[in-house]
Amino acid sequence: MFRLPHPAALALCLILCMPVAGRASADQDVPPSAMGDPVTASHRVAELISEADRSIDKDLLQAHAHAVEAMTLAGASGDGLMQHKALACLGTIEERMGLYGDMLATTRRRVQVAQGLGDPLMIAMDLRELASAYRLNEMSEKAVEEARNSLAMMLPTRPLNEVEEARLFLIHTLHNAGRYDEAFRIAEHAMAKAVERGDLYMEARFARSMGDLMLAQRRFADAIGHFTQARRSLPEKDAAEEHYAVCSALARAYIGLGRIPEALAATREAGSFMPEVDNWNNRSDLLDLRYQLATAQHHWPEAIMLLNEIKRTSDSVLISRLDMQTARLQMRHRPDHQERANVEAAAGDTTPDTSNGWLEPILIGLLALLGIVASTLFLSVRRGRRLAHRLKVKSEQIQEQQQRIHAKDLELQRQSLRLAETLLSEEEKEMMIKEIHHRVKNNLQVVDSLLQIQALDANAPDVQRVLRVAQGRIRSMALVHEQIYHTSNGRSGDLRTHLEKLIRNILAAHGAHDRISVRVDTTLPIFRMETLLPLTLVVNELFTNALKYAFNEKATGRIIIVVRPTADGYELLFNDDGCGLAASDTRDGGCSFGMELLRILAEQLNGELRFMDDPGTAASLVFAPDPVPMRVAC
């Protein structure tokens, strides 16, 4: 049985600044009858475990003594279940005291007891605790192995929610071991299953674990996506801890990307959950998050204040750890001191009473502890002052740079405004030009309709022929305006489609679509209005002339039109297999209006039209459009 002597307990109270006078040990000798009665022994073990739970926040040494006595009594009674509970209580206390090596040994023994009891759930939970103990002792591979074993024990027999908790623990253990890819694959698969089931809560938790993995690898943009999905899937009630963790992690991801406004909003949202999740870890986490935000915003006074608060918190943690180390030394010293006292009593030592001699080493230890704390505080204050000076100098430099950047930013804004005004003016011009093209096309269609009516009313065939020729030219011009309107309206266009549509209209007007075959060969894009209109009229004149004179009313034929780039511009080739130019030239008297029109259009294109002595009619127009004028920015 492990007992806590009264003087050692008083010394611990002095170190922890808890003035308690005349406290007696809570441990009492267990009568032999209690050891022999299983019911009485179990009842006593339960009482000791309850006393340890009540003492864990006030006196860890006392709680440890209760847990050790409960474990000893449970082992002697042979009650495996009570021994398991006592070991669980002792492991928790050893973790709080920082005795990670002792905690590992206790947890291993706890697993052995659970295996003896044969409860799969108990074994799985103990394996999870064993994985945590390995992790605290920096044995990450063994921690991963035991986490896998815990999940394997859960899978065959346990409900789905317990299995998912074991899977989350495995992901967390893999994360701590740095095995991010494997953890991400498990989390991604588990989240997909949760989505199939419609389990929003588990979907959110797995999404959060995936975001934590991305955050650990500094993949901030990917982490934000997962955290946003987790926040969207979390229920509004009974999930405050998850909401806080997601918002806090989301704020860190935003800070990593430099998106400070979103980080501030996420931090405020995380702070709104603090009344429900208020504990030391969350308070420390939120304090560090605010310090990072203040540093990112260059709010140096606030950053220094938060840094001092973090230092005070870390100093208090350091003092607590020193107290814990002192308690550990006392606990290890206590059995030796008790054994020496028993030996001296048995030998009948007659030396003078030195019952107060234990105070001297305690006072020396206390003075040493106070010296360590004072040195730590002094170093922290000096470091804080140096850091404040460096932050002040850096702040001045940053402010100077900010002023320069602000001046440049104003100049860029002025240039952007001038550019926006220019672009707006150009856009208005483009809209007006498109509207003009559309209205010109409509007006040309009205003229075409009027000529059609006039041709129907005319009795002379020559008049009707002249009107039809004029209609063809007007339709060609209307087609050009329609093409320009569609191209400027955002649609893609090419020259081949435009010419094929022109040819179809001419063939339909002359009723020759079933006896004349036409091939248009070009890969060029659509030309500008200044080039496309005269080029279209040239093709219209050549094609109409071929239909009128190269083929009689029943003859079949073939026409080839090619437009290709050359070294100095472009070339239009027109060829038909009809009767040739001489016959048509004879009919027109050698100098027709159509030939004169072709010459004028060729001059507009900066080119020259030549007729060649090939079978049928062969014409070549080499032209060079005017260059596109460059717009000058104002």
Q: Is residue 18 very low, low, confident or very high in pLDDT (cuts 50, 70, 90)? A: very low
Mean pLDDT score, 258-274: 89
Task: Using the predicted structure, report yes or no on whether residue 316 has a pLDDT greater than 80.
Answer: no
Select from 516, 572, 571, 586 the least CA-distant residue to 544: 516
Mind spelling out the 3-state secondary structure of 389-453?
HHHHHHHHHHHHHHHHHHHHHHHHHHHHHHHHHHHHHHHHHHHHHHHHHHHHHHHHHHHHHHHHH
Confidence (pLDDT) at 463: 75
Note the pLDDT of residue 574: 92
Give yes or no for residue 24 having a pLDDT over 80: no
Whole-number pLDDT of residue 623: 93
Helix ranges (DSSP H) in 137-159: 140-154
**Tokens 């009516």, located at residue:** 453
Q: For residue range 594-607, what is the model confidence (pLDDT) as tens digits? A: 788 889 989 989 99
Tell which residue, 100, 134, 137, 71, has the closest CA to residue 328.
100
Query: What does residue 418 show for φ and ψ, rounded to 5 degrees?
Result: -65, -40
Query: What does the alpha-carbon distance between residue 634 and residue 631 come to, in Å, rounded to a whole number?
Result: 9
The predicted-structure confidence for 167-181, as pLDDT tens digits, reads as follows 999 999 999 999 999
Give helix 461-488 / helix 495-510 axis angle, nearest 10°.
160
**Residue 423, pLDDT score:** 66
Q: What is the pLDDT of residue 298?
A: 86
In this model, does residue 81 exceed pLDDT 60?
Answer: yes
* Residue 248 one-letter amino acid: S
Residue 581 has pLDDT above 70, yes or no: no
As a whole number of angstroms, the distance between CA 320 and CA 267 comes to 29
The whole-angstrom separation of Cα 445 and Cα 481 is 11
**Band of the pLDDT at 141, cuts 50, 70, 90?**
very high
Q: What is the DSSP letter of 156?
A: T
Mean pLDDT across the stretch 379-389? 86
Report, as an integer, the average pLDDT of 339-351: 46
Element (H, E) at 555: none
Given a cut of 50, whether residue 13 has pLDDT beyond it is no
Number of H helices, E strands in the chain: 23, 5
- Tell me the C-alpha distance between 391 and 301, whole Å: 9
The tokens describing 233, both together, are 């899937």
CA dist., res. 59 & res. 62, Å (int): 5
- Out of 21-30, 213-222, 490-499, 541-550, pick the least confident: 21-30
Q: Which amino acid is at 447?
A: V
Residue of higher predicted confidence among 348 and 627: 627
Token pair belonging to 74: 């449970």
| pLDDT single digits (tens) 585-633 | 534 444 577 788 889 989 989 998 998 876 778 899 999 987 765 554 4
Strands 516-521 and 557-565: parallel
Quote the CA–CA distance of 534 and 603 in Å, as a whole number: 10
- Cα–Cα distances in Å, from 186 out to 198, 224, 249? 18, 19, 20
160-176 and 200-216 are packed helices; what angle lies between their axes, rounded to 10 degrees? 10
> Across the strands, what pairs with 570?
565, 623
Summarised one tens digit per residue, pLDDT across range 274-315 is: 888 887 778 888 888 888 888 888 888 888 888 888 877 766
pLDDT at position 492 over 60: no
Distance (Å, whole) CA 360 – CA 140: 43
What is the predicted pLDDT for the residue at 174? 93
* Cβ-defined contacts of 488-494 (< 8 Å, 24+): 488/430, 488/433, 488/434, 488/437, 489/434, 493/525, 493/526, 494/523, 494/524, 494/525, 494/526
* Each residue's pLDDT tens digit, 550-569: 776 667 888 999 999 998 89
- Rounded to 10°, the helix 100-117/120-136 angle is 170
Q: How far apart are CA 559 and CA 127, in angstroms?
A: 88
Strands 608-612 and 557-565: unpaired
Task: Decide which of 6 and 307 is more confident.
Answer: 307
Residue 250's alpha-carbon distances to 168, 172, 225, 255, 407, in angstroms, are 19, 18, 9, 9, 33
Of 14-28, 227-241, 360-374, 565-579, which range is least confident? 14-28
Closest listed residue to residue 533, CA positions, set 521, 524, 545, 541: 541
Instruction: Compute φ and ψ for 149, nearest 5 degrees.
Output: -60, -40
Mean pLDDT of the chain: 78
Instruction: Quickly state the pLDDT bin for 116 (edges 50, 70, 90).
Output: confident
Q: Find the radius of gyration of the CA atoms of the chain.
A: 47
Superfamily holding 493-623: Histidine kinase-like ATPase, C-terminal domain (3.30.565.10)
Mean pLDDT calculated for residue range 404-412 = 85
Distance CA 89, CA 60 (A): 12
How many other β-carbons are positioned within 10 Å of the β-carbon of residue 43? 13
Cβ atoms 561, 521 nearer than 8 A: yes
The answer to whether 485 touches 431, Cβ cutoff 8 Å, is: no
- Residue 391: phi and psi, rounded to 5, are -65, -35
Q: How far is CA 519 from the centre of its chain?
A: 55
Residue 59: the pLDDT is 79
What is the C-alpha to C-alpha distance for residues 353 and 27, in angstroms, rounded to an integer?
26
What are 562's strand-pairing partners? Answer: 521, 573
Q: What is the identity of the amino acid at 222?
A: D
The stretch 344-370 carries a mean pLDDT of 62
How many angstroms separate the CA atoms of 249 and 286, rounded?
10
Torsion angle, CA of 480/482/485/488, rounded to 10 degrees? -60
- Quote the pLDDT of residue 323: 62
pLDDT value, residue 186: 93
The continuous run of DSSP H or E covering 540 comes out as: helix 529-545
Tokens of 286: 């939120």
Residue 463's identity, in one-letter code, is V
CB 184, CB 176: distance < 8 Å: no
Tokens of 182: 């494997």
The pLDDT of residue 19: 36
Q: What is the C-alpha to C-alpha distance for residues 259 and 272, in angstroms, rounded to an integer?
A: 21
For the stretch 179-190, pLDDT in tens is 999 999 999 999
Residues of the chain above pLDDT 90, percent: 15
Strand partners, 610: 620
**Angle made by CA atoms 251, 257, 261, in degrees to the nearest 5:** 55
Burial of residue 96 (CB within 10 Å: 0-12, 13-18, 19+) is middle
Amino acid at 489: N
Give the tens place of pLDDT for each residue, 191-242.
Answer: 899 889 888 888 888 999 999 999 999 999 999 999 898 888 888 777 888 8
Residue 525 is given by DSSP the state B
CA atoms within 13 A on the CB side of 184: 16
Alpha helices, DSSP H, located in 546-626: 581-587, 593-604
